[in-house]
């Protein structure tokens, strides 16, 4: 099975995406996923 360098997770607001990202990070295998397009994360 091929190993990938990156991945994208698309979710809707209030769907548990923060929990999902925390669980993925806790595995130690999925990097450090975070919300790049969440309004407070975007600098103008």
Domain ranges of the chain: 16-44
Q: What is the model's pTM? A: 0.65
Which pLDDT value is given to residue 43?
59
Residue with tokens 């548990």: 16
Question: Each residue's pLDDT tens digit in the chain (44 positions)?
Answer: 777 788 888 888 888 888 998 999 999 888 888 777 766 655 55
Which pLDDT score, from 0 to 100, does residue 18 have?
86
Q: In whole angstroms, give the CA distance from residue 34 to residue 41.
A: 9
């Amino acid at each position: 099975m091929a190993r990938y360098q990156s991945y994208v997770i698309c979710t809707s607001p209030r769907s548990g995406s923060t929990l999902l990202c925390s669980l993925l990070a806790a595995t130690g295998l999925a990097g450090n996923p975070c919300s790049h397009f969440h309004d407070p994360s975007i600098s103008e």
